[in-house]
Amino acid sequence: MNCSVKKPEEEEEEEEETTWRDKPLHGMYYRQIEEVAGIKKTYQWLNKAGLTDSTEALIMAAQEQALSTRAIEANIYHSRSDPRCRLCKEAPESVQHVVAGCKMLASSAYMERHNQVAVIVYRNICTQYGLEVPKSQWDIPPKVVENGKAKILWDFSFQTDKQLLANKPDIVVMDKEQKRAVVIDVAIPADANIRKKKHEKIAHP
């Protein structure tokens, strides 16, 4: 039996997939992600987040650049002449700009999103080491918590011999049994900037 021969329906499916991935706009997100991250983990939220269909559809539309941002209205629909962002009035208002590039959102919405993600990581670490988990996920964690197994620091400034650009990592886990410290810094870059951000974090700790 020749195992390399595919059933007709499998062939069809594969062809269909290739077709949408090759579309200039609708395949763009997939192609960008494929280059910098694992596709399976990237789409885990579709199975695990428990979002409603309409919320999932909205997120997918944003990923496909299919929302009526001012850049789309000006450049694609031609229903507006100025593509610039309604908040900062500087860069074109693309989905990418709204989710990760607008300076008017940097100190508010982006900061809040960053902290919310870091708190989820923090809470999981506390559970893992049997430390008390803050009651509400909206609470800012204490600077230091400790038990016999570990010491966890949150947003803690370090004095270093050599001057570092960032000496305040989001979380530091000091595992007393393994005698090991792990520094965790959370970043939420736009999908296309994952690689760039990773290099930044490693190059400028």
Residues that bind Zn ion (CB under 5 A): 85, 87-88, 102
Report the residue number, 102 or 145, with the smaller CB distance to Zn ion. 102
Separation CA 172–CA 83 (nearest Å): 42
- If the CB atoms of residues 71 and 85 are measured against Zn ion, the closer one turns out to be 85
Is the Cβ of residue 102 or residue 119 nearer to Zn ion in the bound state? 102
Q: How far is the CB of 134 from Zn ion (least distance, A)?
A: 33
Least gap, CB of 120 to Zn ion (angstroms) = 27
Report the nearest approach of Zn ion to the CB of residue 88 (Å).
3
> In sequence order, which residues have a C-beta less than 8 Å from that of residue 173 and are 6 or more positions away?
125, 129, 150, 152, 181, 182, 184
Angle at 172 between CA 166 and CA 174, to 5 degrees: 140
Query: Please, which residue, 70 or 126, has the CB nearer to Zn ion?
Result: 70
Q: From the CB of 98, what's the least distance to Zn ion, in Å?
A: 7
**Coil, strand or helix: which one is 149?**
coil
Burial of 97 (0-12, 13-18, 19+ CB in 10 A): buried
